[in-house]
Amino acid sequence: MKIIAGVDEVGRGSLIGPVYAAAVILNSSIDKKILKDSKKLTKRKREKLSKYIKKNSIWSIGKASVKEIEKNNILNASLLAMKRAVVKLKKKPTIVLVDGNKLPKIKNYKLNSVIKGDQIIPSISAASIIAKVTRDNSISNLGKKYKGYFWDINYGYGTKQHLKAIKKLGVTVHHRKTFSPINKY
């Protein structure tokens, strides 16, 4: 029997924090019709689905730190986070389907890239949901320590509100200093 793992990342465009990836092997009993790209779901629906997916699948999270993003660039850091998620799975998949057009290098694994995979492959949709909920929660918690940046709302993305806060409060250790406009400060 083929064991399919879906993989997706989140946080590439953010100005702060790690990039996260999730790998998911869905149980056959899961209702695949309800799985969608995380960006097309409300926060409440994502959180509910994340719990459902976690109960009904084998899943894992990988991440790459701000330091790794700065050293290796965001693409390579994203691929590293994906690799970490895949190798942490408790069961080795027969095939790994990765959202996008780039693949992490993982020895002894068969990988295929799927453009817009988070919209058409249920296990990749599930991975996108778990990765997004995990990262959003992590960034929200970080925002409690760094008040005024509104990370519980913007999750570190370059919103007007966040950029205004950077001008007022400065750059933190969690900002990606190689990213524009952070690199101007």
Domain boundaries, the chain: 4-180
pLDDT score for 32: 87
pLDDT of 88 above 90: yes
**DSSP code for 176:** -
Q: Which CATH superfamily is domain 4-180 in?
A: Ribonuclease H-like superfamily/Ribonuclease H (3.30.420.10)
pLDDT of 33 above 90: no
Closest CA to 176 of 161, 158, 152: 158
pLDDT tens string 154-167:
999 999 999 999 99
Give the C-alpha separation, 77 to 48, whole Å: 28
Confidence of residue 57 (pLDDT cuts 50, 70, 90): very high
Closest CA to 114 of 123, 166, 132: 123
Six-digit token string for 16:
């702060």
Distance of alpha carbon 90 from the chain centroid: 19
pLDDT tens string 104-149:
999 999 999 999 999 999 999 999 999 999 999 999 999 999 999 9
pLDDT score for 185: 79
pTM of the predicted protein model: 0.95
